[in-house]
Amino acid sequence: MTAAQRLTGSLAPHAQRLSSIRIAELIAADPARAGDLSLRVGPLYANFSRQRIDRDALDALLQLADACALPQAFRALFDGERVNVSEDRPALHVALRSALGAGEVARDAQAQAAQAHARMAKLVDDLAASDVTDIVNVGIGGSDLGPRLVADALKDAHSGRFRVHFLTNVDGSDAQHTLRGLDPARTAAILVSKSFGTQETLLNGRILKDWLGGGERLYAVSANVPKAEAFGVAAERVLPMWDWVGGRYSLWSAVGFAIALAIGMPRFEELLAGAAEMDAHALQAPPERNLPILHALSVVWNRNALGLSTHAVLPYDERLALLPAYLQQLVMESLGKSVTPAGQAAGVDTVPVLWGGAGTNSQHSFFQALHQGTQTVPADFIGVVNPDHAYAENHAALLSNLLAQTEALANGHSDGDPQKTYPGNRPSTLLLLDALTPASLGALIALYEHSVYAQSVLWGVNAFDQWGVELGKRIAGELLPAVRGETTEVSDPVTRELLTEISRRRSG
């Protein structure tokens, strides 16, 4: 039986039964529900009681997890089995922070990770002892989003030794604005690229190399060490990456060099320890008490049983404002697939469109649509219990808004005026961090990583390749001579017309 048949077959009757029952009714009928459908893992608490699900539907989902052998799939991931089938390699990001994987492949990865970690620590010390004040991380996708998210989220934990900047876009204005005000004599650049073949990073890397006046303060992180050295980065300043770590799963490696410079090595290690705690939980907890698995099941339920096509992530902490952008890559690059590793149609709806933004700001922009729009959008609300500031009234307001929104979305309200009617019955999960620390952030990100993996197993797709990004890159390369004006030979008639328009309007 295919994953698709299992999904549609086993969930449909439950969705049908629940179609006329509201979340508020489920909660009223089951007083223990709010507590029972919650779970704590270290500094992270999750409450699923406002999902549109009952205990029978949850049992069906857990049977699905069993049929898909989720615990065994986690064991395979940790042990370094070749779970990335299309590229015939393991996905061992867990080896960057945990020693839970057994067998030679996993052990070897753990040893390589430890070695690179020690080299990175030495470079952090060297830079701290130098007169460098500013660091520019040059990278894109997984070589940017993870370090950028963590450096931004942990701004209260910064050591203050360096200012860290991120240069990403091939749009030259990004380089122009990032470098404005920086002193090349006191700036170091880290070129982060797993492949060292990414157009954006190579172009920006060249800008940085010229701007710095050579390679003396140029660092690199790459799985293609020879290419980084050929670019002009001295061997002792190139930190390794490996083909067994996906870019979007790589912030735990030397890809996190900018994070380590921002917060210092001890706190970087706390970040890894927080992720390791979630790793141990993901690998060892039974599915019915396993947070990543329960999270994945809730996503699958909303996508496949309720047919909801988007998923919002709504952090109620300004420091987590970049989390939705980070998760867009993690989730949508991992799960935006429609064929199985064997090349057959997945036969099931896979990734919902992930989007979101920080609260309370988003309440004053798109929440109107969440409350009264025609589409139901399931959401993850994320809150932080203890702030790192002294504005107690602001924090009370923040938390009360967080709680109010989840309540309003679930319960709705009607006083007879259709304009002021809130249909409610809109599902959400609440995630609460005791405080935003390196450890709790590590646990939160690892939760999402493991949920993504569990979803991929349930849907029968490979979470670790990304062939979908290649076609556009190839066409862009082919069009470059025409954009430069070196040729007018372009096969696509619309692109030809657009190029004519661009060349007509060009001022320079």
Give residues in contact with ligand F6P (CB under 6 A): 140-143, 193-195, 198, 201, 247-248, 333, 466, 469
Where residue 219 falls (left for φ over 0; alpha for ψ -120 to 50; beta otherwise) is beta
Report d(CA 18, CA 323) in Å as an integer. 32
| C-alpha of 449 from chain center | 7
Report d(CA 163, CA 262) in Å as an integer. 7
Q: Of 473, 478, 497, 501, which one is the catalytic site residue?
A: 473
Contact by Cβ (8 Å): 167, 202 = no
Q: Of 269, 333, 449, 450, which one is the catalytic site residue?
A: 333
| Residue written as token pair 């799960």 | 335
Q: Is 420 noted as a catalytic residue in this protein? A: no
- Phi–psi pair at 192, nearest 5 degrees: -110, 115
Residue placing its CB nearer to ligand F6P in the complex, 101 or 247: 247
Residue placing its CB nearer to ligand F6P in the complex, 195 or 360: 195
What does the block give as tokens for 66? 């069993």
Residue placing its CB nearer to ligand F6P in the complex, 269 or 465: 465
Report d(CA 321, CA 454) in Å as an integer. 25
Please, what is the end-to-end C-alpha distance for the chain in angstroms? 61
Contacts of 176 (CB under 8 A, 6+ apart): none
- What is the chain's Cα-based Rg? 24
Q: Least Å distance between CB 326 and ligand F6P?
A: 11
What does the block give as tokens for 2? 């295919």
DSSP annotation of 223 reads S
Residue placing its CB nearer to ligand F6P in the complex, 83 or 294: 83
Residue placing its CB nearer to ligand F6P in the complex, 316 or 453: 453
The half-sphere exposure of 464 on its side-chain side, counting CA atoms within 13 A, is 25
What does the block give as tokens for 330? 């993690």
Report d(CA 212, CA 179) in Å as an integer. 11
Query: Can the peptide bond before residue 8 be classed as cis, meaning omega within 30 degrees of 0?
Result: no
Q: Is 364 noted as a catalytic residue in this protein? A: yes
- Phi–psi pair at 224, nearest 5 degrees: -115, 70
- Phi–psi pair at 316, nearest 5 degrees: -95, 65
Residue placing its CB nearer to ligand F6P in the complex, 86 or 195: 195
Q: Least Å distance between CB 191 and ligand F6P?
A: 9
Vertex 29 angle, CA 25 and 31, to 5°:
115
Residue 197 vs residues 139, 174, 267, 285, 472: alpha-carbon distances, Å:
11, 20, 31, 40, 15
Residue placing its CB nearer to ligand F6P in the complex, 47 or 224: 224
Residue placing its CB nearer to ligand F6P in the complex, 10 or 193: 193
Residue placing its CB nearer to ligand F6P in the complex, 83 or 490: 83
Q: Is 333 noted as a catalytic residue in this protein? A: yes
The alpha carbon dihedral of 179, 180, 184, 185 has a sign of negative
Contact by Cβ (8 Å): 238, 222 = yes
**Active site residues per annotation:** 333, 364, 473
